[in-house]
Chain A
Amino acid sequence: MLEEEDKLIKKAQKGEAESFGILYDHYSSPIYRFIFLKVNNKSLAEDLFHEVFLSAWQNINNYSHKGFPFSSWLYQIARNRVIDYYRTKKDFTEISDEEDRFITLTAENVIDHSLNMEKIKGALDQLSEEQSNVIILRFINDLSPAEIALVLNKSEGAVRLMQHRAIANLKKILNKKL
């Protein structure tokens, strides 16, 4: 959580763009990662990401803390936007375009990373929507089960169960691939 996040949110709610800018800078990477792994397409992920933050900026006055972290609110907007995208796009066919899948990597282990990523992304695509959400949020974006429960509107116990099943399924899928 960002330091003095509450103050930044209150300022943003009063219309201070720079305060929202700080929140944007802090949460842009994990939210983009979440969207990218859900849609597997760079330009589409960028479009959805932009819509998510635009919606967050325009509706920030709707956000009230009440034990609900700002990050969870953003993830909820992102999740709903991805769901809407798949609902409206009926002829969803993913074309694998390596140029389109631009990913910023660290210099070391570039080859290993890209090989692993392709395998993992392929395996994540085979999981159910909720299981892939749990895996992305828990192990890639490092959210706690309690935070994931808030994002997915489930109980913490249900999230732990989903996590257990998702890991087991992911193992099975990857074992077949290897």
Chain B
Amino acid sequence: MSYDYLLEYLKSLKSINPDSDFLSRSRNLILNQPKRPAYVFHVRNQFLNVFKFSLAIGLSLIMFLSLSGKLFPKNNIFVASLNNKNLIKESLKADINIQLAEVKYYKETSAQVTWALSEIINNENNAAITRLLKEKARENDENP
């Protein structure tokens, strides 16, 4: 089926119309119904407008107070995370602390490592001498 043919099909539905008797009956019934007085809508709309305005002001105030830190305590993580300067300070401080800790660690560990290595070497030497002496003693025993 082509697009044009389909459109023709659809256009044929334009002939659907309401019954004229029904229309005039319905029209009379509707227009004779009492309409809600305009002031009801006016009062309601005014109330809605005032409500919307108050809501907007209230939310803005809450946002302002929370950002200024007056609504929440200063140690609040959320508020602290919004302060860029503090964040930068904290990050720099953290970096220095990490570096100092590393220096301290290497300083302490290097001495320990040196001592441990010398111990290992000494132990190795002692073990080698002992082993050599034992071998010599066995050779002497075998060839007196």
Interface residues of A (CB under 8 A from B): 13-15, 17-18, 20-21, 24-25, 28-29, 32-33, 36-37, 42, 46, 49-50, 53-54, 57-62, 102-106, 112-113, 116-117, 119-121, 135-136, 139-140, 167, 170-171, 174-175, 178
The 6 closest A-B pairs by CB, nearest first: A61-B41, A32-B18, A139-B10, A17-B31, A104-B17, A116-B12
Q: Does B9 contact A (CB under 8 A)?
A: yes
**Separation of A125 and B104 alpha carbons in the complex (Å):** 80
Write the nearest CB–CB distance from A58 to chain B, whole angstroms.
6
Q: Does B89 contact A (CB under 8 A)?
A: no
Of the candidate stretches B20-28, B74-82, B119-127, the one touching chain A is B20-28
Interface residues of B (CB under 8 A from A): 1, 3, 6-7, 9-20, 22-23, 26-27, 29-33, 35-36, 38, 40-42
Q: Is the interface of B mostly helix, strand, loop or mixed?
A: helix
User: Contact between B18 and A116 (Cβ–Cβ < 8 Å)?
Assistant: no
Residues of A within 8 A of B20 (CB): 104
User: Contact between B11 and A21 (Cβ–Cβ < 8 Å)?
Assistant: no
Task: Indicate whether A36 sits within 8 Å of B16 (C-beta atoms), given known contacts A120-B10, A174-B1, A175-B1.
Answer: yes
**Separation of A105 and B35 alpha carbons in the complex (Å):** 35
Residues of A within 8 A of B16 (CB): 32-33, 36-37, 103-104, 117
Report the number of A-B residue pairs with Cβ-Cβ less than 8 Å.
Answer: 108
Partner of B1, one of A105, A113, A121, A171: A171
Partner of A117, one of B12, B26, B40: B12
Residues of B within 8 A of A102 (CB): 19
Task: Indicate whether A105 sits within 8 Å of B15 (C-beta atoms), given known contacts A58-B33, A139-B7.
Answer: yes
Task: Indicate whether A20 sits within 8 Å of B31 (C-beta atoms), given known contacts A116-B12, A120-B12, A135-B10.
Answer: yes
Partner of B35, one of A37, A42, A58, A117: A58
**Separation of A33 and B63 alpha carbons in the complex (Å):** 50
Residues of A within 8 A of B6 (CB): 167, 170-171, 174
**Separation of A102 and B22 alpha carbons in the complex (Å):** 12
Residues of B within 8 A of A25 (CB): 27
**Separation of A28 and B18 alpha carbons in the complex (Å):** 8
Residues of A within 8 A of B29 (CB): 50, 54
**Separation of A29 and B13 alpha carbons in the complex (Å):** 12
